[in-house]
Copies of this chain bind each other. A is one copy, B any other.
Amino acid sequence: MSTDKVLVFGHQNPDTDTICSALVYADLKQQLGMNVEAVRLGEVGAETQYALDEFGVDAPRYVKEVANEVDKVILVDHNERQQSVQDLDKVQVMEVIDHHRIANFETESPLYYRAEPVGCTATILNKLYKEHDVSVKKEMAGLMLSAIISDSLLFKSPTCTKEDIEAANELAKIAEVDLEAYGLEMLKAGADMSDKTVDQLLNMDAKEFTMGSHNVQIAQVNVVDTNDVLDRINEVKAEMEAVLAKKGLSLFLLAVTDILTNDSLAIVVGEQTKAVESAFDVSLNEGQATLKGVVSRKKQIVPPLTNALS
């Protein structure tokens, strides 16, 4: 390719932070004079669509691969290659803006890498507007606010920091919305699982991790009623077993997170289910256990499970 265009995208199975952060960072970069376009690697979920509709922004274009279009990319909200575009090794990663651990990421050349241990990529983007002295438009403020509400479950997640809360309050003013009221409506829009297929449930927000010598998939769904999933538990577990076999996973954990109680129901299959018991000090009953107060995959599920499997 001989284009100076750069694509900006978040992870596969995009959530609200990934979609909004790609759109917002593309906006900032465009204002700084760069030829960039936000794209997405998967379906836009109902929660994200609610946010896009509220602030009148179109979803990014869907792409399956990027090397056919550009030489250079910017990653937001992820860095691990197995969570990224399938042909990532064929392009140069110019920049990463992220708030996750770093793993399975390697470059040939120096790059701009900005990770901070905050609850949301958008919180970092809000800082970057300030560092570049660019003012934040109303609709971009709305998208960043939506991302923070989504990743922090309205500030309930332990990943949520003081910086996220301050950014959200600041952005709610620019976006001209009532933070609590808008936030709850947005979360509820994404938490109705009754009309989702089992396949959709498992792929809504699924990420694959390498833990020790094991490949582990952790999917998460937010619900207001766990029966949306429990009503179909046999079908759910059968499909999880199928994915497990197909991908050669050691473990597949589905976290069904109740956004009102802030507990998660873990549903697990695979040869390493014992690791779940030791990681969370619970006993599995037919492959299920309630993880009290667990709402964050990144902070409350990945670290203890990585420990248990390493």
Are A110 and B114 closer than 8 Å at their CB atoms?
A: no
In Å, the complex CA distance between A306 and B111 comes to 16
| Complex contact B105–A102 (CB within 8 A) | yes
Asked if A117 is at the interface (CB within 8 A of a chain B CB), the reply is yes
Given contacts A102-B102, A131-B131, contact A117 B111 (CB under 8 A): yes
Is there a chain B Cβ closer than 8 Å to A207's Cβ?
no
Any B CB within 8 A of the CB of A101: yes
The docked-state distance in angstroms from the alpha carbon of A195 to that of B203 is 65
A113 (CB) vs chain B CBs: closest residue? B115
* Chain B hits for A108, CB < 8 A: 101, 302-303, 306-307
Residues of chain B within 8 A (CB-CB) of A105 are 102, 105
Distance from A120 Cβ to chain B, minimum over Cβ atoms (Å): 11
A109 within 8 A of B: yes
Q: How far is the CA of A99 from the CA of B111 in the complex (A)?
A: 8
Is A116 a contact partner of B106 (Cβ separation < 8 A)? Answer: no
A68 within 8 Å of B (CB atoms): no
The docked-state distance in angstroms from the alpha carbon of A106 to that of B209 is: 12
Question: Complex formed: what's the CA distance from A306 to B105 in Å?
Answer: 16
Let me know if A117 and B107 touch, CB within 8 A: no
12 A–B contacts from the bound complex (CB under 8 Å):
A101-B106, A101-B107, A101-B109, A102-B102, A102-B106, A103-B106, A104-B106, A105-B105, A108-B303, A108-B306, A111-B117, A114-B115
Residues of A within 8 A of B (CB): 99-117, 131, 159, 298-299, 302-303, 306-307
